[in-house]
Structure 1
Amino acid sequence: MLQQTRVEAVKGYYSRFLAALPDIRSLAECDDEVLHKLWEGLGYYSRVRNLKKCAQVIVNQYGGVFPREYAQVLSLPGIGPYTAGAICSIAFNQPTPAVDGNVLRVVSRLRNDPAPIDLPETKQNVTEFLAGIYPPQAGDFTQALMELGATVCGPNRKPDCEGCPCKTFCLAFLEGDPQSLPVKSPKKGRRSENLTVFILSCDGRFALEKRPDRGLLAGLWQFPNLPGDLDTGEALTVLRAKGLHPRELFRESRKTHIFTHIQWNMKGIYLEVEAPTGGFQWMTPEEINMQAALPTAFRQFWER
């Protein structure tokens, strides 16, 4: 849950998740709709899908006992080198580096290294460097590096070099300008996409559909939508072509949602239609609130 999400935002979700799914077996057997509902609002839904796949592998291949070997942990769905390193070092006291942005920043400054930290070869170099200096207290060392980067050798501000326990051997402090490090490659621009979203109602029910099983927000519910910024006339024409007959136009609303590499500029059109057709799933507000995992991009149109 803490991948890409702040601790404060996670706390409530974490407690509810563990209350509903207290062990690996219950997670492995959990219905997808229930799982998505527990995760609703956290975003990055591939995390929870991989979490369930991971639990299933642990139950089926390891008898419900979490494996201890780094290679085994790394092979689990959704677990990459950082997570595997953190688990093996912190939980099992193995000398396996967990290299994230905080750690890359610390090592970049310790070595006064101008290599861009977002390059794979830099991350590999730092991982190999750390693996060669791990002390017997592997878990403590891993957590110390993380905390040093998060609290003392921080990003986007002047590092607290005077209060840093590493200042006597930090080359950036001794020889250069710590605040100028780390270096990153030039950023690519975020792609912008327009989307017209239909909030269709009929006799107290609302139209929803499932997104494809692959790609962005895979397998989640959404309000029907089309690419582009359609005007009202174009929108009504599209609906009639799908066999829907608009009865009343309530209002229009504009929202924006930002993903890592994409920005959605969304126009929401609220309409009452004559009959619940169009091949959609028509749900009551209660069913939507209790059962349908609506990603934040679409939930902002759901003001109930």
Structure 2
Amino acid sequence: MNAPSSSYRSGFACFVGRPNAGKSTLTNALVGTKVAITSDRPQTTRHTVRGIVHRPDAQLVLVDTPGLHKPRTLLGERLNDLVRTTWAEVDVIGFCLPADQKIGPGDKFIAKEIAGIKKTPKVAIVTKTDLVDSKRLAEQLIAIQQLGVELGFEWAEIIPVSAVGDQAVGRSPSNKGGGGRGAGQVELVADLLTKLLPEGDQLYPEGDLTDEPEQIMVAELIREAALEGVRDELPHSLAVVVEEMLPREGRPADRPLLDIHANVYIERQSQKAIVIGAKGSRLKHVGTTARKHIEALLGTPVYLDLHVKVAKDWQRDPKQLRKLGF
């Protein structure tokens, strides 16, 4: 775990931004595998997931935070506290701003907050560039640069990126250092974040992709599968707890099986039918989808046992929040 050379860099970078700004998708693209759940619903990230990017000259540890938002529940307040604590402890802050949405009050609120963290370099990452044309992208880059000017700080970099398909666009023309369409955008993000890290030894062993406990990762994969295609009100009401993960006894060494028992919690009895579906069809689909991702993550066959339970108004109940890991 010693540094390969004297110029080796290592440190922590966090992605911040409004809910659904592309932070988790970018984290997964940089790490090269799924370490953070993604969804087309805002506020799906509930934990700060560390994804580890290994490079010959550096180790970049990515901290993916929940989106900062106006809290309506005790859960929302706790998620916001988690975001602010993370900002204060990292070496670089990456502010994700979607290219297809104009800078709004939520973005300005976050920009004002990070402007107060004086010594930490701030990188603007313009996500979802595949959704806009070059004119709209140019307008967004100028607006982002102006946002920094208004708040009295200079962006260390402004980087346009599409984590989907890793199309090459390059750096903002308004930035020093030029651009170029040669390298993939995701690789460019890694390059530019790495340059802003302090010199130091490796923080994690070669091959580690996250320091998130396996049980938390498995719970997040189940929750991601359960969020697919459900009604708007359900995502914030849904939590997953893995009660048990044990190798099946009596299995031959060349045919292992991991038994996973998990509970899916919702807030109201009426939501139970949404999660389970007609004759259990939806829950079966959730189990099949989640099992594939879990087997890919853990590298072993899995038997997944899911149960749906009601924890009334758990987002507002301190005792239940603790029980569900918040």
TM-score of the two chains, using structure 2 as the length reference = 0.28
More helix by proportion, 1 or 2? 1
| The structure with more radius of gyration | 1
The two structures have a TM-score, normalised by structure 1, of 0.30
